Structure formats: C-alpha cells, structure tokens
Amino acid sequence: MAEPLMALQHLTRQFDTRRGKITAVDDVSLALHPAEILCLVGESGSGKTTVARMAAGLLKPSAGTVEFEGKDLQKLSKDEFKEYRKAVQIVHQDPYASLNPVHTVGETLSAPLLHHKLAKGRREATRRVGELLELVDLRPAENFITKYPHQLSGGQRQRISVARAMALNPRLIIADEAVSMVDVSIRVSLLNTMLKLRNDLGVTFLFITHDLAVVKYFGWEGHVGVMYVGKLIEYGPTPKVIGRPLQPYTRALAAAIPEADPDLTRSKEKLQLRSLDIPSLTNLPGGCVFHPRCPYFEEGLCDITMPPLVEVAPDRHVACHIVERELTGQIIAAPATRQAAAD
C-alpha cells in the first residue's frame, strides 16, 4: 500500500496526577492513508483526545513518534512545523468554546486566510469565505457572514468550525467528538457535509467519537480503532469490526447500544459483563486490562499478561488471549514466556 499520510508509532503518553502517574495512552500504533477515514472509539477517559492532541502536534508523546508524510514531527524545522500545523486541523466538540463570541463569522473565517496569506487582501478573503460557507452547506453565504456565534444554532456553529478548519486547505482533519453535542438530525447533516469533503476533496479524517453507530455511518469505508483505558484493543475495517466485533470489550459495546427500533432493541442479545466498573488509570488490573469485566475471562491466562494487539485474521487486529487462541489456533507467545519477556 502507498505510504501513509500519518503514522502513529508506539505512541505513549503519561501524566502526573494527584493520585499518581497514569498512562493515558499506552503504545498505540495506527496509520492513516490519504483520503482515508480512521475512527477512534472508546469510552470516556480511554485516551482518544490525548491521541488526537499528539497527532495534531499539540502534545509531546512520552514515547513513540508521530510521522507525517514519513517525517518525525519532533524533528521538523520551525518552518516545517508551521506547514504541518496548517496541513492538520482540529475540529473540537464544543462549538461554543471554540468560536470567539465577539467575532462575526466573516471575521472568524477570514482571519486564518489573511494570517497565512492564503488570500491577498479583504476582497479575495471575502470571496473565499463565501466559498467556505457554501462548502459546509451554509447557504446563502451572505446570510451568515455578518452573524455572531450567539446568533447561530449549535449545528451552524459547528459548521463554522469545520469551515474554519477547511480554510487552510488541510490534508487531514482531526474531528474530536465534533458531532457529539448536536441533535440527531443536525448530526447527520454535519456528517454528510464532512463525508463530502472527504469524497470530493480527498480530505483525510481522524474521527473521534464514543458512538459506535456514528462510526458505522461516517467510517463505513474506513477503519476503526477501539480504545480501552489507553490501549488499542481492536482495529480493522469498519463494516467488519461493527458487523462482527471480536475483542470482548468491543462485543460488549456493540451489544449495549440501543436501537431506535422497539422490537429490535428489546430483543437484542446482550452481553453481560462481570462488572460495570471501569478501572482507574492509577490502578489498572494486572493481565488483560479488561479481565475483571470480561465475560470470556479465563483464569491463569487472562489475569497473567496483557495480550498484545495481533492480526488474528486478514486486517483484523485484536488484543485478546481467547480470541487469539480461537482464531489462530494458538497463542502467539505462551503466557509464561511473555511474562519473562516483560520482566
């Protein structure tokens, strides 16, 4: 396959907190190819935003690297880094917090154009702002240019955030829960708008959400990575991971989701977890991090070592001893040897 646009390699990030050191992201490796959609899904605190911030160059990894077009971010010159920050744009969750309330839409969108000299003068900036608004389906553009954030609905504000990200012709958009705070119908139209950016303009997406149904819709043609307490525990093509999740946590997640269909949702087969408690990052269980909750737990195997992410079927990567044994007929390294290797 062609060279990835971005490669996250063994990304790890620790934080010192009042309760001790935590590893918010632990050895995550992922690749994004041009015009690909990579979704990252996981519960609150699983490390998604921390991955996003490292990928965007806003946070230094404790270990591992972020490579963009084959170059290590840490080794970029100042100018190269500036270019990088143009090529990779973030859209955040909260459209209130991310737009300046005293700037009109026109001002918000023309500022980056003028600052980065992507428009020569006001007139060209205004024309370009009009194009950007059309691009994110805010039509007619004139109606929006003079508006302030408080005069817009939540969905419209989020469109402005997307338009602002698009102002610099980015290669990659990192959308961190970009549709989590808007209503169902607005969510779909935002997703459709972003899909259009990807389909028509070839924008690559790192799309972060806690909602597997949104992943299915937005990331259907791409890959999805599932995170749990800082670790990547499953990765594969979206239709496959959602149609037939393998890692027990992913299975539990898919089974837990209610559907907007009374007969279907009430008869859906549930997967009973052994415990509802999400472990604390300051006190992670030994062995597989999911074992205290896992319905497939096997003593003497799951509580001994953390299973690594392995390819258990073509392009299907799973971190689970049981799945690994079922699908590959073997456990790549016996628990005892692995223990020794870890020591």
Partner 1 sequence: MTSTDERPTTPNAQGDPVPTRDATGPRPDAPVVLRVEDLWVEYRTERGWMQAVRGVDLEIRAGEAVALIGESGSGKSTLGFALQRMLVRSARVARGKVTYRTRDGKTVDLLNVDDKQFRQLRWREFSMVFQAAQNSLNPVIKVSDTFQETARAHGEHNKGRIQEKALELLRKVQLDGDRVYNAYPHELSGGMRQRVSIALSLLLDPQLIILDEPTTALDIITQRAIIDVIRTLRDQLDFTMIFISHDLSLAAELADKVVTMYAGEVVEDGPVRDVFYQPKHPYTVGLLNAVPPITGEDFTPLTAIPGATPNLLNIPSGCPFHPRCPYRTDICSRQNPPLVEIAPAHYVACHHHDQVTKEPEIWEHIEVEEVAEAAV
Ligand X SMILES: Nc1ncnc2c1ncn2[C@@H]1O[C@H](COP(=O)(O)OP(=O)(O)OP(=O)(O)O)[C@@H](O)[C@H]1O
- Return residues touching ligand X (CB under 6 A): 15, 17, 24, 42, 44-50, 210, 281
Which partner, partner 1, Mg ion, ligand X, none, binds residue 97 by CB below 5 to 8 Å per kind?
none
Q: Which is nearer to Mg ion, 49 or 108 (CB)?
A: 49
- 3 state SS of 3: coil
Which partner, Mg ion, partner 1, ligand X, none, binds residue 281 by CB below 5 to 8 Å per kind?
ligand X
Instruction: Identify which of 259, 277, 323 has the alpha carbon closest to the alpha carbon of residue 297.
Output: 323
Q: Which one of residues 79, 117, 266, 300 is an interface residue with partner 1 (CB under 8 A)?
A: 266
> Cβ of 143: how many Cβ atoms within 10 Å?
11
Contacts of the segment 194-203: beta carbons below 8 A, 24+ positions apart: 194/162, 194/218, 197/135, 197/162, 197/166, 197/173, 198/35, 198/37, 202/34, 202/35, 203/35, 203/166, 203/170, 203/171, 203/172, 203/173
Instruction: Identify which of 285, 275, 286 has the alpha carbon closest to the alpha carbon of residue 338.
Output: 286
Q: Which is nearer to partner 1, 41 or 56 (CB)?
A: 41
Q: Which is nearer to ligand X, 231 or 251 (CB)?
A: 231
Does 209 sit near Mg ion (CB under 5 A)? no
Q: Smallest distance, Å, CB 340 to Mg ion?
A: 36
Does 49 sit near Mg ion (CB under 5 A)? yes
Binding mask 169-198 for partner 1 (x = CB under 8 A): --------------xxxxxxx-xx------
Q: Which is nearer to partner 1, 70 or 295 (CB)?
A: 295
Instruction: Identify which of 321, 87, 326 has the alpha carbon closest to the alpha carbon of residue 204.
Output: 87
Count CA within 13 A, CB hemisphere, residue 289: 22
Q: Which is nearer to partner 1, 78 or 270 (CB)?
A: 270
Sites of contact with Mg ion (CB under 5 A): 49
